[in-house]
Structure 1
């Protein structure tokens, strides 16, 4: 079996960006994507989410982002990604669900069922969408109504006339309340009081927020989302929910869940029909477990003080869409940095191979 210079896992925005830059650098690689169709996680978003609701989500290197209008994001973004793959002839293989990545005498083996790929380096771009996080609360298994996570959100009409409990302090919770409050009876709960942003979100403010996430990654801590440190802002389409008091009536977390609702810490009861868990995601990196990249503090430490994409524990591994690059704005930059990191590692491997007299391990770029 031939040995590739690199394998990219994931063909979302970060993965396509990495592939684009790898191709420009002449790095022989393939992109393995678990989805049947192009579009990354955006193809799985709810129908009511339009391009007007998001900002530059599909911006790719050397290409313009789709026009921000009333087009459905789960259609417009996949179409853009598919065209981009064709235009740049990116080596995407799908559907491929990677089981794990292992080390075989210095060569990385990416396994997916009965198939496998051998490579000198790896770019992991699997994002978070496949790892929704739902915290456990006593009695949640007894609830007779619906419990939905962000990944299962069917659009606002599903909730019309219902009493809906929205759990979470991030942007998704704010957006859900904005859509649901005008047509349903909503209750908002968060673990901590929400932090609202009243000033403009300038590039400088964005850089400061990313820097906070970088600090955690540099220390080997599990990353927090960029959104978690930017503060919350209301968009024009959420002003009606604000007028109805959906955000002002926020409550602290309940103590338990019962068949027909939740029990508050003071012992009072709140009847609800549906619980929406807007509680975020975790990095989809279980397939990397055999490489032992996690440090003692629970996260994967990245180089350059958390600003890079190279795993400190194994410089053959690049992570994009992890930590500070887990945002639509940071994905493009991360893809370029990862491709540069791959080229640097291939050059080092070639130099080490020449020095040790084992040319079979040398990169094709040498």
Structure 2
């Protein structure tokens, strides 16, 4: 199983799979940046407010919430991280018929690839698969790519379900993807 994405979705899905004992390869564009374990909604609000004030007053940009990290260490993520189960590697360069391959020729087998790169669809590694339609989108059946059964896309707005790129809307597609993948692995 390969999970792609260094944000909350990627980390949380990787943590859930790691806790379930799934053979996991987690890849990210850069090393994961976890927010401090004690960060909560109030701290995020305060950081965003301080940034807005600094910008309004012509002071140096504080970086806001983004300066704190990319991944909220919710309990399952924290537990997997602390147990050494979340080890992100660099992004592969292409999909192969049986998995993924890095620029140096290293390969990893994968029954499924969960692509959760968030608000900016990063679809270049799929070019060789010719999955993109005329509007640049990958046709999906739920979260699974219609023409590549190993690929699941999460967080792509209405591609994979209403508001699936938001916290309110990602739950159902994520559960559906997990069930579909569990069925493949059973």
- 1:65 shift after superposition: 8.1
Structure 2: distance between partners of 1:333 and 1:14: 13
* 2:108 matched residue in structure 1: 117
- 1:332 shift after superposition: 4.6
- 1:74 shift after superposition: 1.6
Kept in 2, the 8 Å contact 1:121–1:317? The answer is yes
Kept in 1, the 8 Å contact 2:7–2:70? The answer is no
Structure 1 stretches of 5 or more lacking a match? 1-5, 44-62, 130-282, 348-366
- 1:122 shift after superposition: 0.8
* 1:88 matched residue in structure 2: 80
1:339 aligns with 2:173: no
1:286 aligns with 2:124: yes
Compared with structure 1, are the counterparts of its residues 17 and 332 closer, same or farther at alpha carbon in structure 2 (3 Å cutoff)? Answer: farther
Secondary structure of the residue aligned to 1:88 is helix
Structure 2: distance between partners of 1:67 and 1:25: 28
Compared with structure 1, are the counterparts of its residues 313 and 11 closer, same or farther at alpha carbon in structure 2 (3 Å cutoff)? Answer: same
Structure 2: distance between partners of 1:31 and 1:93: 5
* 1:245 matched residue in structure 2: none
Kept in 2, the 8 Å contact 1:14–1:331? The answer is no
**Aligned residue pair count:** 158
Bigger Rg, which one: 1
Kept in 1, the 8 Å contact 2:116–2:155? The answer is yes
CA shift digits 1:321-342 (9 cap, x unpaired): 2233223433454433322221
* 1:66 matched residue in structure 2: 40
- 1:84 shift after superposition: 5.8
Secondary structure of the residue aligned to 2:11 is helix
Secondary structure of the residue aligned to 2:10 is helix
* 2:26 matched residue in structure 1: 31
* 2:58 matched residue in structure 1: none
User: Aligned-residue CA RMSD in angstroms?
Assistant: 3.1
Structure 1: distance between partners of 2:71 and 2:126: 30
Q: 1:127 aligns with which of 118, 121, 124?
A: 118
Alignment of 1:257-272 (within 5 A): none
TM-score (norm: length of structure 1): 0.38
Secondary structure of the residue aligned to 2:26 is strand
CA shift digits 1:285-319 (9 cap, x unpaired): 1111222222455421222xxxx211111221111
Kept in 2, the 8 Å contact 1:318–1:338? The answer is yes
Secondary structure of the residue aligned to 1:31 is strand
Structure 1: distance between partners of 2:129 and 2:151: 9
- 1:24 shift after superposition: 4.8
- 1:12 shift after superposition: 1.1
